[in-house]
């Protein structure tokens, strides 16, 4: 009798355990999932047009002028790179599948037809120079690798990964390393993670804290976000006081624009997203205003911030005027794409269903089961460890440069055709050279990418470091000024840089000119 009771109890326990729901599965209706995806896309559309008139109008300061915006201004989003660049990656998925190789994503992005800047522009040039992912986003081949680019074009990754931050990071690893690395890459990982958590969490602080788990804790990106959380606690009613602390600590840490108040660093602008979210306290207009008034890339940051609220609350819970404005343009195409708002929502929903199924979820007519993921931090990467600007030297500082051969002064011209002051020097002939002595651990030469640009060899301390090509002419776009070559991780102390014009060029280049404007010297902090 005793053994029978034990057997019966075991059966009862077994059946009881089988009837318990899987704690890792969260359910959501198809209607709510699609509404939240729509809220995310709508937030991008509305937020980018709210901040557009202020973009880079406040550098190293808060934006204190009036902000005149109405929801109907959302029509301006149809020509915004915050939307059409990432829609190119969705178009790649449509054509080649979500598992397309990174090189294919880079190819369609590089051949897209629109203008690009900073890390994106370098990734495009790298494609045409046969430098492919992940090298195309790595510091050795992309001096803009910590810039904001991937951060502002990773939204779709989070929108299609509800409750699945690791799935988002896996996709971010492939696409984000096309143009970024380190903190620049983490910007996209973090923004995508914010959305993955926002599908099932309404508390904004918890959304931010959970998204942080997708980043390595030792990264500067994670550190600055933790600073924002701490400052919000210390200054709950004064976001400007918190902004000042952030600016003092982090405002001068950017590399590609070192020495300038212009800061397109992913982590600083990412902090402004979180400033808007935490101090905005769930209010759409307050969130938009604060993330915009933080300055710098102040159309991208409110766009990301409002998109997070859009996922948390869903499109149907956005202010009615905002809903109306988006509905009025829902079938209008974004330039350079075959996407509309309606198509973006529909396609993202379909990719989300695919992601959910691939990760062990379930789909029914009235219920979707999502196997929730515990965030795993992305591997630790540092683009420019301990690098800080030591000095910037103009090519016209004759005491510092030794020029041999035929170097000519070059003037830029305004759009009106008026010549400006000398901007750079250029040389064309094989063997034309310049030498430069410096003390530091890294150096970047700035110059021009142009349709008459050619090739040159870079020597450091007498050894060939690299050969680089300055030809660039895509969709009538050149880049002036831009990093043309750099050397990193040098031993502390004195070094000699020598640049030698090879006289070689691509067949499509009009000449073999090399333009040089400045040298940026870095030291170890």
DSSP β-ladder status, 408-413 and 463-469? unpaired
Burial class (CB in 10 A: 0-12, 13-18, 19+), 155: buried
* CA distances for 70 relative to 289, 321, 384, angstroms: 13, 9, 41
Output the pLDDT for position 84. Answer: 98
> How many angstroms separate the CA atoms of 514 and 280, rounded?
49
Kindly state the tokens that stand for 427. 């040389």
Strand partners, 38: none
Q: Are 177 and 286 in contact (CB under 8 A)?
A: no
Q: Are 120 and 94 in contact (CB under 8 A)?
A: no
Angle CA 363–364–366, to nearest 5: 125
Output the pLDDT for position 17. Answer: 47
Q: 467-482 b/e with 16+ CB inside 10 Å = b?
A: ebbbbbbbeeebbbbb
Query: Which SS3 state, helix, strand or coil, does residue 412 take?
Result: strand
Q: Which uninterrupted H or E stretch holds 97? A: none
Q: What end-to-end distance do the CA atoms of the chain give, in Å?
A: 77
Residue at token pair 């956005």: 318
Burial class (CB in 10 A: 0-12, 13-18, 19+), 145: buried
Query: Strand runs (DSSP E) across 314-441, as ranges?
Result: 362-363, 368-371, 387-394, 401-404, 408-413, 419-427, 433-439
Query: Which SS3 state, helix, strand or coil, does residue 401 take?
Result: strand
Q: Are 40 and 383 in contact (CB under 8 A)?
A: no
> How many angstroms separate the CA atoms of 151 and 165, rounded?
15
Q: Which uninterrupted H or E stretch holds 176? A: helix 165-176
* CA distances for 337 relative to 83, 88, 101, 333, 474, angstroms: 10, 7, 21, 7, 18
Helices (H), 256-315: 266-280, 284-293, 300-313
Identify the structural domains of the chain with CATH numbers, from first to last: 25-59+69-371 (1.10.4080.10), 387-524 (2.60.120.260)
Read off φ and ψ for residue 266, nearest 5 degrees. Answer: -60, -45
Read off φ and ψ for residue 21, nearest 5 degrees. Answer: -65, 150
Output the pLDDT for position 416. Answer: 60
| CA R_g for the chain | 25
Write out the chain's pLDDT in tens, 525 residues.
Answer: 444 455 554 444 454 445 566 889 999 999 999 999 999 999 999 999 999 999 999 999 999 999 999 999 999 999 999 999 999 999 999 999 999 999 999 999 999 999 999 999 999 999 999 999 999 999 999 999 999 999 999 999 999 999 999 999 999 999 999 999 999 999 999 999 999 999 999 999 999 999 999 999 999 999 999 999 999 999 999 999 999 999 999 999 999 999 999 999 999 999 999 999 999 999 999 999 999 999 999 999 999 999 999 999 999 999 999 999 999 999 999 999 999 999 999 999 999 999 999 999 999 999 999 999 999 999 999 999 999 999 999 999 999 999 999 999 999 876 565 667 899 999 999 999 999 999 999 999 999 999 999 999 999 999 999 999 999 999 899 999 999 999 999 999 999 999 999 999 999 999 999 999 999 999 998
Angle CA 44–47–52, to nearest 5: 115
| Residues counted in the chain | 525
> How many angstroms separate the CA atoms of 317 and 165, rounded?
24
The two counts, helices (H) then strands (E), for the chain are 16, 14
Q: What is the pTM of this model?
A: 0.94
> How many angstroms separate the CA atoms of 506 and 451, rounded?
10
pLDDT digits (tens, 9 = 90+) for 118-142: 999 999 999 999 999 999 999 999 9
Output the pLDDT for position 1. Answer: 43
Query: Which SS3 state, helix, strand or coil, does residue 436 take?
Result: strand
Output the pLDDT for position 332. Answer: 98
């Amino acid at each position: 009798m005793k053994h029978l009771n034990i057997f019966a109890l075991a059966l009862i326990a077994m059946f009881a355990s089988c009837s318990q729901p899987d704690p890792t599965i969260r359910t959501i209706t198809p209607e709510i999932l699609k509404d939240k995806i729509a809220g995310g896309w709508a937030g991008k559309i509305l937020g980018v047009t709210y901040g557009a008139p202020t973009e880079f109008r406040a550098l190293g300061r808060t934006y204190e002028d009036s902000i005149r915006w109405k929801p109907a201004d959302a029509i301006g989003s149809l020509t915004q790179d915050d939307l059409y660049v990432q829609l190119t990656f969705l178009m790649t998925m449509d054509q080649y599948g979500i598992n397309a190789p990174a090189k294919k994503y880079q190819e369609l992005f590089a051949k897209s037809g629109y203008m690009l800047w900073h890390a994106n522009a370098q990734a495009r040039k790298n494609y045409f120079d046969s430098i492919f992912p992940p090298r195309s986003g790595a510091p050795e081949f992309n001096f803009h690798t910590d810039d904001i680019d991937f951060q502002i074009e990773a939204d779709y990754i989070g929108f299609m990964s509800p409750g699945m931050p690791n799935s988002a990071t896996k996709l971010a690893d492939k696409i984000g390393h096309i143009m970024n690395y380190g903190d620049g890459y983490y910007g996209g990982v973090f923004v995508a993670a914010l959305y993955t958590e926002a599908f099932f969490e309404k508390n904004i602080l918890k959304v931010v804290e959970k998204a942080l788990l997708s980043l390595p804790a030792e990264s500067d990106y994670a550190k600055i976000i933790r600073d924002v959380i701490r400052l919000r606690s210390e200054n709950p009613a004064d976001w400007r006081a918190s902004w000042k602390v952030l600016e003092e600590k982090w405002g001068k840490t950017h590399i590609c624009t070192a020495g300038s108040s212009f800061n397109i660093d992913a982590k600083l602008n990412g902090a402004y997203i979180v400033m808007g979210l935490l101090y905005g306290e769930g209010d759409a207009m307050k969130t938009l205003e604060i993330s915009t008034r933080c300055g710098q890339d102040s159309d991208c940051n409110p766009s990301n911030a409002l998109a997070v609220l859009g996922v948390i609350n869903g499109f149907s819970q956005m202010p009615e005027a905002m809903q109306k404005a988006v509905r009025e343009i829902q079938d209008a195409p974004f330039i350079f794409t075959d996407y509309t708002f309606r198509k973006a929502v529909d396609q993202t929903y379909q990719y989300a269903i695919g992601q959910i199924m691939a990760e062990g979820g379930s789909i029914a007519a009235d219920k979707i089961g999502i196997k929730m993921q515990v965030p795993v931090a992305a591997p630790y990467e540092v683009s420019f460890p301990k690098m800080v600007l030591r000095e910037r030297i103009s090519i016209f500082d004759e005491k510092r440069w030794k020029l041999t051969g035929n170097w000519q002064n070059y003037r830029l011209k305004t759009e009106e055709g008026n010549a400006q002051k000398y901007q750079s020097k250029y040389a064309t002939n094989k063997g034309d050279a310049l030498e430069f002595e410096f003390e530091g651990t890294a150096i970047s030469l700035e110059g021009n990418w142009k349709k008459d640009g050619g090739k040159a060899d870079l020597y450091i301390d007498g050894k060939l470091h690299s050969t680089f090509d300055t030809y660039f002419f895509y969709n009538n776009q050149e880049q002036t000024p831009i990093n043309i070559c750099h050397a990193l991780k040098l031993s502390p102390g004195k070094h000699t840089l020598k640049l030698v014009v090879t006289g070689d060029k691509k067949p499509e280049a009009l000449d073999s000119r090399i333009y040089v404007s400045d040298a940026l010297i870095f030291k170890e902090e």
